[in-house]
Amino acid sequence: MRDSDLLQPQETLKTRRQLERHQGVVTLHDVDVEALRQLIEYTYTGELTITEDNVQVLLPASSLLQIQSVREACCKFLLRQLHPSNCLGIRSFADAHSCKELHSRSHKYALQNFQQVVSTEEFLLLPFDEVRDLISNNQLNICSEEKVFLAVLNWVKHDLVERKKHISELMGHVRLPLVSREFLMSCVESEGLIREDSHCKELLLEAMKYHLLPEQRSLMSNKRTIERRPDGMKPYVFAVGGGSLFAIHNECEVYNPRTGNWSSISPMLWKRSRMGVTSLHKQLYVVGGYDGVSDLASAEFYNPLNNRWNYITPMGTKRSCLGICAFDGLIYLAVDMMGHLV
């Protein structure tokens, strides 16, 4: 985008138009010649073809000449062109030309498609404040917080000399307590930029404490321990295992509220009924139950990102017909004073 594409502030435009009213000849500044020709033809024919090649000059020219119909058509055209590779550029263009709806929708698109956006050159070329505003947004749509950490590193390392000074503030918006312990040790703790910055080391220590002291998580609660809530995110309904007098099942299904359909997912590793089920950190946990012969102490979790079940540490006691819930990153089983499950 050229500097000449930028609109003048509204007060400057207003002042200019007041002066031009009394002039015999008006000189048009910062207007593309071809765009002006097309707009003049449009005023006579009522026809105008908007393309990827001319939309960036037609929109500012139509704004300057107050041809609202063309301006709105350009905005609608750009909305249809939104893609992870260009949404940040369109957002910046919309901001420069005061296209509020286009700016809002392109910004929302960037948040919803963040995982693809961070791999584009547009993201790497963003100024610091725009990167900060993106990664701090609670509606950022990501499969895991690890993606945000890696995005920050890639942005900083793209111009390390100039951007290294921003690592501390940016990492303050990465929710490190929500990444896995394995990622903390293999990627975060070993990263030189983190180890060299005192504030980043404090953030790493906070995340480690969150994992090592789960019983104290309620005391550590802050913006970095709260999962993001993307706009428009809807819950899914899972039906797992179960059975009857004749058979116990490990088959599982999921209901998608957007499509209104049930679909099969990977079966559990163990056949179960009467088990406890809860969700934690976007994963589904199944604990205990009955396999048709005896109660179970085993437990497993389902990761929707790879459609796989994995065993976790079993309980110390076999249990079925149990009630469980997740709170502050922990899974709780409800028992009465006698040690029986409620």
Q: Per-residue pLDDT tens for 184-196?
A: 999 999 999 999 9
Q: Give the model confidence (pLDDT) of 152-172 as tens digits.
A: 999 999 999 999 999 999 999
- Chain-wide mean pLDDT for the chain? 87
Burial pattern 69-102, b for ≥16 Cβ within 10 A else e, equals ebbebbbebbbeebebebbbbbbbbbeebebeeb
Range with lowest mean pLDDT among 91-100, 158-167, 277-286: 277-286
Mean pLDDT for the stretch of residues 244-271:
88
Task: Assign domain 127-233 to a CATH class.
Answer: mainly alpha
Most confidently modeled of 29-38, 267-276, 322-331?
267-276
Domain locations along the chain: 127-233, 237-335
Most confidently modeled of 14-18, 281-285, 308-312?
308-312
**DSSP state, residue 342:** -
Regarding predicted confidence, which is higher, 52 or 328? 52
Burial pattern 125-137, b for ≥16 Cβ within 10 A else e, equals ebeeebbbebbeb
Question: For residue 83, which amino acid is it?
Answer: H
Q: Starting from the edge strand earliest in sequence, which strands make up the sheet with 308-312, in order?
A: 276-280, 283-287, 299-303, 308-312
Q: Tokens 């163990």 appear where? A: 270
Regarding predicted confidence, which is higher, 122 or 6? 122
| Cα–Cα distance measured from residue 33 to residue 22, given in angstroms and rounded to the nearest whole number | 24
Range with lowest mean pLDDT among 13-22, 83-92, 104-113, 193-202: 13-22
Q: How many residues does the chain have?
A: 342
* Per-residue pLDDT at 6: 36
Most confidently modeled of 6-10, 20-24, 329-333?
329-333
* Per-residue pLDDT at 7: 37
Helix (H, G, I), strand (E, B) or coil at 68: helix
pLDDT tops 50 at residue 148: yes
Helix (H, G, I), strand (E, B) or coil at 275: coil
* Per-residue pLDDT at 174: 97
φ and ψ at residue 319, rounded to 5 degrees: -145, 150
| Cα–Cα distance measured from residue 222 to residue 217, given in angstroms and rounded to the nearest whole number | 10
User: For residues 288 and 315, is the Cβ–Cβ distance under 8 A?
Assistant: yes
* Per-residue pLDDT at 12: 56
pLDDT tops 60 at residue 210: yes
pLDDT tops 50 at residue 267: yes
Mean pLDDT for the stretch of residues 273-297:
90
Question: Looking at the chain, which runs of residues are DSSP E strands?
Answer: 237-240, 252-256, 261-265, 276-280, 283-287, 299-303, 308-312, 324-327, 330-333
